[in-house]
Chains A and B, each alone.
Chain A
Amino acid sequence: MSDLLLEVKNLKVHFDTENGRVTAVDDVSFSVKQGETVGVVGESGCGKSVTAESILRLLDEKHTNYEGNIFFQEKDILRFRYSELQKLRGNDISMIFQDPMSSLNPVYTVGNQIVEALLLHQNLTKKEAEEKAVDMLRLTGIPLPEKRVNEYPHELSGGMRQRVMIAMALSCKPKLLIADEPTTALDVTIQSQILDLIKDLKDEFNMGTIMITHDLGVVAEVCTKVVVMYLGQVIEEASVESIFSSPLHPYTQGLLKSIPHIEGPRDEKLYVIEGKVPTLNQIPAGCRFAPRCEFATDLCRTEKPQLDSYENDRKVRCWHFKEIQEKGGVMNGNRNESDKVRS
């Protein structure tokens, strides 16, 4: 168990809002081992970013209530004092954010900002930190890092800024890197460069990585394990290979179905998961996916399914996943038949 880096156990995150308490993350458990890349996938608003931010406890604690445990190297982050938290942030666990255009302070040079991150956690002199900043920038593949350190964020492109963010996040050699949609704001060629970079650096530093994304292509490229979330819950957990070859949950199947393929006829309609994600204060009574699921039965609508283990390392939260698999999964353009099943 020594290579177990992070273990999220029955995490619940409640927000106190004007309309009462809302549970954004409900009973989420997963773990990250050293050198492992875990993908957290789901639609917008399914709680993936909230999960990520709870790991560093970045949410406004006045309005947030945590339940459960987040063990980092066997210590519970949720029980940390503020000073311990500050030592943890950036030093042991780092985070990369979605929007590189606004993740850097516009009034300081990029070098300055990396130096600041270094000085916060490591006993370096200013001079050493400056040299280290140049090294880090070089590591992320920025050409002419000696020149770039003295530039301001507005002088860099989005891809460059994301590289700077990565340099900053990795400057203290963290054990765990949380990447919150690191490539969403970048164009496709830069995306793959950044992903390759994260992958290479992960191997170099032997970090655990949590990759939060809604892009299954990203998952296929970098992750070893995938956690699929829907409406604040983990609905499926499996290795990358099994998620893509034999998804169990109808939601995962739907997600995979709705990716356009480059082969095949162009006029073919893309698969769409019907309906909308309900808001957090209108959570369905039974299975949360039931209103949108073509296999839903009365059991699904009234009883909550548990996250069951399946085979050796897979978990799925569905009453009927075995039958669904026998039927061959989510049908394309076969809504009529499924309507009959429903009635």
Chain B
Amino acid sequence: MQNLLTTEQLNSLKSEMKKKHRDLLVKRFFSNKLALFGSILMTVIVLLAIISPFFTSFTPYELDPVKRLQPPGAEHFFGTDNYGRDLFSRIVNGARVSLIIGFAVAIITSILGMIIGLYSAYYKKLDGVLMRISDGLMAFPAILLAIAIMASLGPRLENVIIALVIVFTPSVARTVRSAALVVKEQTYVEALRAQGASASRIIWLNIATNVLSPLIVQATFIFADSIIIEAALSFLGAGIPAPDPSWGNLLYDGKTVIFNAWWMTLFPGIAIMLSVFGLNLFGDGLRDLLDPHTTKAKK
């Protein structure tokens, strides 16, 4: 029995290897300029949404009829709207709404999509039923389906989340299912069955872990898509109800005065654009990072 190591040596070896692995991942992420830019952009937006109340003196609901439609200036960074509300604080609060919706939708669809995708990949009979339902849901254009669901549920924040979850879950389930079908045919899954592992153990401990990376990438894109669709819903009046600031609402308010007050449409528009852009860059970066085929090509 040569090469016996003491436990301390072993532990230090273990942590050293883990650290090396982590360093490599971090290095790879930072070498991807676009992904880095995307994540910085997202961090800034998230930070703004969290800390904004501490450095604007205005609340998003504070009316000031005297100062209606003021252009951007020192007092109101982004100007005021047609009721004299501070546009900056409204946009930052809208960011909070958008981020909450995007995040909640991404998380819930990931979990639901994962469950549906994994089980339909593993059980053929379930597959037929679940995938036909998701085909049906995917046949509708996303916005149309969302509007229809909102119309029946009523305009509330939670309902926006529910509607978007229904809209996006089928595509996540599809992604997970197709990845899981590949994994399921791998020899190690058969080897696990030959070892006497139960179905749920195989599904959750072995197949699920192997489909995580496409799922994470898909989730970031769904985050971005939910922000756009939420804005569209609010713009159409089917999303967040009116006095609450949401980027879609702000755009709607600005639409009537677009020739008198350009800032009312420009700034919410830029906010939507930047956050979606940031998320997409971040998602692309994650895909490069998590997909072994592309990382190999880039060293």
Contact = CB atoms under 8 A, between A and B. Distances in A.
Nearest to B21: A152
Interface in A96-149: 97-99, 102-108, 116-117, 120-121, 138, 143-147
Interface string B194-219: 11111001000110011000000000
A106 B5 CA distance: 26
A90 B193 CA distance: 9
B196 A150 contact: no
Interface stretch (A81-89, A205-213, A300-308): A81-89
Q: Size band of the A side of the interface?
A: 35 or more
A91 B190 contact: no
Given A120-B197, A146-B3, A147-B5, A103 B210 contact: no
Nearest to B198: A86
Interface of A: 56, 58, 62, 85-91, 94-95, 97-99, 102-108, 116-117, 120-121, 138, 143-147, 150-151, 165, 168-169
Given A103-B188, A104-B188, A105-B206, A146 B195 contact: no
A121 B173 CA distance: 33
Contacts of B295: none
Nearest to A138: B1
B5 A146 contact: yes
Interface in B1-36: 1-5, 10, 13-14, 17
Contacts of A103: 187-188, 191
A143 B3 contact: yes
Closest 10 interchain pairs by CB? Answer: A90-B195, A89-B196, A90-B196, A95-B194, A103-B187, A102-B187, A86-B196, A146-B5, A107-B209, A105-B188
A144 B3 contact: yes
Contacts of A95: 191, 194
A15 to B, nearest CB: 15
A74 to B, nearest CB: 20
A102 B194 contact: no
A133 to B, nearest CB: 13
Nearest to B17: A150
B194 A165 contact: no
Dominant secondary structure at the B interface? helix
A102 B1 contact: no
A187 to B, nearest CB: 19
8 contacts: A86-B198, A89-B193, A91-B196, A97-B187, A102-B188, A116-B197, A144-B3, A168-B195
Nearest to A151: B17
B124 interface: yes
B190 A120 contact: no
B57 interface: no
B186 interface: yes
Nearest to A56: B194
A94 B206 CA distance: 19
A58 B3 contact: no
A147 B195 contact: no
Nearest to A90: B195
Contacts of A107: 209-210
B149 to A, nearest CB: 36
B124 A90 contact: no
Contact of A89 (B10, B14, B194): B194
Contact of A147 (B2, B13, B187): B13
Contacts of B3: 143-146
A97 B210 contact: no
A104 B190 CA distance: 10
A144 B13 CA distance: 12
Given A62-B124, A150-B13, A150-B14, A102 B186 contact: yes
B106 to A, nearest CB: 22
Contacts of A86: 196-198
Contacts of A169: 195
A165 B197 contact: no
Contacts of A165: 191
B118 to A, nearest CB: 15
A18 B1 CA distance: 56
B78 to A, nearest CB: 47
A117 B5 CA distance: 24
B196 A99 contact: no
Contacts of A62: 124
A94 B195 contact: yes
Given A99-B187, A102-B188, A121 B196 contact: yes
Contacts of A56: 193-194
A187 B187 CA distance: 20
A282 B179 CA distance: 36
Contact of A117 (B1, B17, B186, B195): B195
A105 B249 CA distance: 49
B196 A88 contact: yes
B13 A90 contact: no
B4 to A, nearest CB: 7
A90 B210 CA distance: 23
A150 B12 CA distance: 12
Contact of A120 (B10, B187, B191, B196): B196
A194 B215 CA distance: 38
A230 B17 CA distance: 50
A272 B195 CA distance: 39
Contacts of B4: 146
Contacts of A108: 209
